[in-house]
Structures are given as C-alpha cells and as structure tokens.
Structure 1
Amino acid sequence: MAPDVLEPLPFVPLLPEELLRKHHIFEPQDHRFRSAARLMQSMWRQDRELPIGSYMVDGKRKKLGSRISPAAAKSGGNFMAPAIAALVRRELAYREPAAMIDEGRLYANLLSSMPLAFNVFGLLKLDLAFASRVLGELFQDLAGAQVRAVLFEHSPGRGNPVLTGDHSAFDVLLRYETPTGRRGFVAIEVKYSESCQEPVPVIRPRYDDLAEVSGLFVEPRKQALRTNPYQQLFREHLLAQTMLMRGDADEARFVVISPQLNTLVAAAIAGYQAELKPAGEDQVGFAGITLEDTIVALAMAGEEQYAARLYRRYCDFQLVDGELNLFWAGDGPIGTASDPAAVTAAGPLKLLPGGRA
C-alpha cells in the first residue's frame, strides 16, 4: 500500500531496459540520473501530446522519446509559455557575435539544459521587477537590489586576450545594482542531466596566469582544476574574476544550478569548492544552488503556478517512481503518469516554508 505522504527520493532509480524501450529512450551510454530524467521528459511530452522526435544512428532514423518532432519544435513546444518561446526567437536573432547556440537542441531536445535555462530565467528577462524579487529570494544579502539586465549565453568578450582568451560563456548572467549603488552580477551555469564529464577544451596558458593572480585557489597550478569534473567551473569562475578585475562590476558571484538528485554534478560542485580559498571582497564567490531551490525562489517571488509546472517537468522524480510501479504491476499502460494516483502535484508546494501555497 502506498504511503499517505511520499518521502523525498534519496536518489533516482535504476530503470529496466524494457521500460526505457517502451518509451523509446533506451540509451546505453546514459548514466543513472540522465536515464531517469530522460524518462520524465518523455512522460512530459506524452502528457502534452507532443509528437515524438528522432535522430540519425548508423544511417537510420531512430525515435527518441525525449525529443519532439520538427513541427512541434518550430511551434515552441519545448518552452513552458508562449512568451518564453517568443523570447527565445528574439534572443537567437540578437545573440552575441560568435555565441555557441545549438538551435536543434534548444528547440527539440527536452533533456537539454539550454531550454531549461530559458524556461527558468525567461520570465526574469521579461519582467525585471520580478527578476529583482527572485534575486532577493536566492540571495538574502541581495534583497533590495534591482536587476538591470538578464543575459543568455553571455560572454564579456569571446576570444579577448584581456579576459580568458577563449570562448567560454555563461548560460545566464544577471546584472544588478544594490541600494547603495554598487554594481554587481551573478554568473550562472545551468546543469540538468550533465555529468561534468563533457569533452575538455584546450586550457590556454592564460589560465595559469589568471589562476595565480586571482587568489581564488588553494593550489592554483593543480592539474585537477584543468580536467573533468572541474575544468568548466574553473574556466567560468576565472572568466567572472577577470570581469571583476577589469572593473565591469564592484562585486560578483558565480553559481551552478543543478537538480538535487544529480549526484554527479553535486559531487563536482563540492569537490571544486574544496579547491577554493574563502573569497575576499575583490574576488568572485562560488556556490551551488539546487534547481529545486531556484524554482522555489520563483514561487516566492510571485509565480507560484508557473513554478509548480517547472517543478513537475524537471524535478518531480516521484513521477518516475510512479511509472516504475506501474511497470512492475503490469496493470497500466506506459505513459499514464498523469493519473492522479501516480502524480504528486503538490510536490513543489511542499518545498515552500510555512506551508505557503
């Protein structure tokens, strides 16, 4: 018998191959979290009756449940609101020169962190007053600060030798001004199903110099900082530090946002933090924030219904547990996670303090 109150999952389940195949999402290279996240995105697609997408493998087209068809992609099916789909079109048209944006992944890949970044931060771009409230919810010391700009896939100067000399960029950057007039920014890297084991780019010699002068690291020459799982955090942290050093802002912080149950990213964040000295006033601080807490911040800032939808799509792994139970029971068709018995619609509300809805 199912319990009256579902306890938070300690980690995502290992899913049977047969279940994954029935959803057209069996990908042998997937790690545990990505497999569960892929199933959840496939279920989200089915609930909204979005046509399944595909990709080429060995010269043949293969269905993939975590993608949507070209027609559904073109209509903005990967985005949580029509206003965000419209924002994405405009952001692509006015992207920064040399910005690296894979439009296919952005529009059609439900699992990608690229659309996630727009789905989470798109409303902030459209309403800077709302963005300011979210900023204060995320960082108590920034309550009262006013967000002046929300930038996507942002670099202050790709290839600029004064900075890092490469094409590193932030998924999102929030520029703000405090009540005392201090200018600041929050540079954000968004992770969803990644493992922090992605291909490593060439780490330029410029990073050696920056690591030394920045004062950020316990051992600035340590090779581990330049390899996975830390190298991307190392590069982006130093990019933010060079912005601060050249006077782009008076204060700054670099944060990574990822799901609580993505233990691979959580381990990378914790390990990287252990390589850092305490940040001084002239240095960029670093922190990891869960995607769940970010969604709660949107709810607390006034977008409760939208936050609940975000949580259900990206974070409510009780849906995966429900689908797994249906598979074991053998008494329900695949894709019925929208059944009230299998859904914890109140999931995100339980995260809010004081029981506030």
Structure 2
Amino acid sequence: GGVGVEVKYTEGEYPYGKQEQRRMFSDASPYHHVHARSGMYVVGSIPTLRTERFKQVWRNHLLGEAMVQRGELARFTSVTIFPAGNEHFVRVMKEYPLLLRPEMRARVVAQTFDEFLEVLGSAGGSDRVAPWLAYLRRRYAHP
C-alpha cells in the first residue's frame, strides 16, 4: 500500500482557476472517472466534493486512488497534516470522511502538527533526532 502525506497551511478555500474548474467539473475528466471507479464515496457526493471547500483534499485523495486503479498500489491512505489553529482544515477534515462510505473512512487520516509531533516523539530514535524534533515543535506546534 501507499501513504500520501499532504501538509496544509492554507486557512481557507480558494477559487478555481478557469482550466482547473473545467477539469474538475467535467464528467469526462480523469477526476470524475477515478471517483466513479473507486467506489469509495457515498452516492451523490461528487457535487459537494467539487466545491472549493473540499477540492484540495478530494483531489489529493484521488491522486492516490488513481495509483491503486493503475495497479501501482494495493491500497492508499491519504494523510493531511495541518496546524491545530487552522480552523478551516479542522472543519474540512471532520467533514470530508463523512463523504466516504463508512468502510472507506479509515483511508483518510487527519493529524494536527501537535498530534504528528507527539507520535514522532514517542517513536524514539537516536539522540540526533531530539534537536530536530525540538525545532519542529517550536516552529509548528500550536501554542
């Protein structure tokens, strides 16, 4: 299997570019075909997934799913890491899994930087890791 990690700093949705919008909204697009073949999403979810609110997360997830469909991976999990204070992604990452069929929701993981750094810290490692982890905590952890 594979894991795709996306780190998000954007604090809101942003408008589509013209070409991007044509691609994302076309029923002939690769996005639409990967979505339809995946069987991951609840029926009728595509109009919601195409919104500016979900387009970033949906598109990233579809990239991994396309690899599964081409036989490059047996399974794909999409991980999104974002600052705890990023209210936009806190909300989006609670809502996005609800657009997936219940048995597919484990293929999406949302982690704040704080949670991610906690996992890294508990993994142990050499003494060389400690300064790097301290830097990441200072730089990215929510105060």
> Bigger CA drift: 295-304 or 260-269?
295-304
2:88 to 258, 264, 268: 264
What residue number does 2:116 align with? Answer: 294
| Equivalent-residue separation in structure 2 for 1:211 and 1:189 (angstroms) | 19
1:199 to 10, 15, 34: 15
Alpha-carbon spacing, 1:306–1:262, altered in 2? closer, same or farther (3 Å)? same
Secondary structure of 1:274's counterpart equals helix
What residue number does 1:189 align with? Answer: 6
What residue number does 1:315 align with? Answer: 141
Alpha-carbon spacing, 1:221–1:191, altered in 2? closer, same or farther (3 Å)? closer
Counterpart contact for 2:84–2:142, Cα < 8 Å: no
Counterpart contact for 2:2–2:75, Cα < 8 Å: yes
Counterpart contact for 1:258–1:265, Cα < 8 Å: yes
Instruction: Give runs of aligned pairs for residues 124-273 of structure 1, distance below 5 A.
Output: 184-192=1-9, 194-200=10-16, 201-202=20-21, 203=24, 204=26, 205-206=28-29, 207-220=31-44, 222-273=46-97
Query: Relative contact order: is structure 1 or structure 2 higher (C-alpha 8 Å, sep ≥ 6)?
Result: 2
Q: Given residue 93 of structure 2, which amino acid in structure 1 is its aligned partner?
A: I
Alpha-carbon spacing, 1:220–1:189, altered in 2? closer, same or farther (3 Å)? farther
State the Cα deviation string for residues 38-90 of structure 1 (Å, max 9, x = none). Answer: xxxxxxxxxxxxxxxxxxxxxxxxxxxxxxxxxxxxxxxxxxxxxxxxxxxxx
TM-score relative to the length of structure 2: 0.79
Question: Cα offset for 1:225?
Answer: 0.6
TM-score relative to the length of structure 1: 0.34
Alpha-carbon spacing, 1:278–1:316, altered in 2? closer, same or farther (3 Å)? closer
| Equivalent-residue separation in structure 2 for 1:316 and 1:211 (angstroms) | 34
| Equivalent-residue separation in structure 2 for 1:284 and 1:215 (angstroms) | 14
Question: Cα offset for 1:230?
Answer: 0.3
State the Cα deviation string for residues 304-344 of structure 1 (Å, max 9, x = none). Answer: 33212211122242xxxxxxxxxxxxxxxxxxxxxxxxxxx
| Equivalent-residue separation in structure 1 for 2:93 and 2:85 (angstroms) | 13
| Equivalent-residue separation in structure 1 for 2:45 and 2:98 (angstroms) | 15
Alpha-carbon spacing, 1:197–1:187, altered in 2? closer, same or farther (3 Å)? same
| Equivalent-residue separation in structure 1 for 2:61 and 2:103 (angstroms) | 12
Is the helix fraction higher in 1 or 2? 2
Counterpart contact for 2:85–2:142, Cα < 8 Å: no
Alpha-carbon spacing, 1:238–1:284, altered in 2? closer, same or farther (3 Å)? farther
Alpha-carbon spacing, 1:220–1:196, altered in 2? closer, same or farther (3 Å)? farther
Secondary structure of 1:234's counterpart equals helix
| Equivalent-residue separation in structure 2 for 1:234 and 1:220 (angstroms) | 14
Question: Cα offset for 1:198?
Answer: 2.2
Provide the alpha-carbon RMSD of the alignment. 2.1
| Equivalent-residue separation in structure 2 for 1:316 and 1:253 (angstroms) | 25
Counterpart contact for 2:77–2:107, Cα < 8 Å: yes
Counterpart contact for 2:13–2:52, Cα < 8 Å: yes
Identity %: 29
Structure 2: runs of 5 or more not aligned = none
